[in-house]
Amino acid sequence: MTFLNIAMGFFFGFSLGVGCALAVMYSIYAGGYRRAIADSLLQPRPDKYDQLIKKAQAKI
């Protein structure tokens, strides 16, 4: 019975916990990516977008 409790605790605590955390991080990342695409399509572009594009191009 103790092994079953340990296995269930490991599964629910680690497997599902880490999976949920990764899903949240991915949704935040994807939301930021969608926002960046939407900003790039605006006319005129925001000043902040132009500054960040210049900084990114300087790195390349």
For residue 24, pLDDT over 90 is answered with no
The verdict on residue 36 lying in a domain is: yes
In a domain, 31, yes or no: yes
Q: pTM of the prediction?
A: 0.48
Number of folded domains that form the chain: 1
Place of tokens 């005129």: 44
> What integer pLDDT is reported at residue 17 of this predicted model?
79
Q: How far apart are CA 32 and CA 35, in angstroms?
A: 5
Could you tell me the residue range of the domain that residue 56 belongs to?
Answer: 23-60
The pLDDT confidence band at residue 6, using thresholds 50, 70 and 90, is confident
Take residue 14 and report the two structure tokens written for it. Answer: 């680690």
Q: What is the CA radius of gyration of the chain?
A: 21
Contact 1, 7 (CB under 8 A): no
Segment 41-59 shows an average pLDDT of 88
- The confidence band for 57, taking pLDDT boundaries of 50, 70 and 90, is very high
Report if residue 56 sits inside a domain: yes
Place of tokens 């790039």: 40
26-32 long-range contacts, CB within 8 A, separation 24+: none
30 lies in some domain: yes
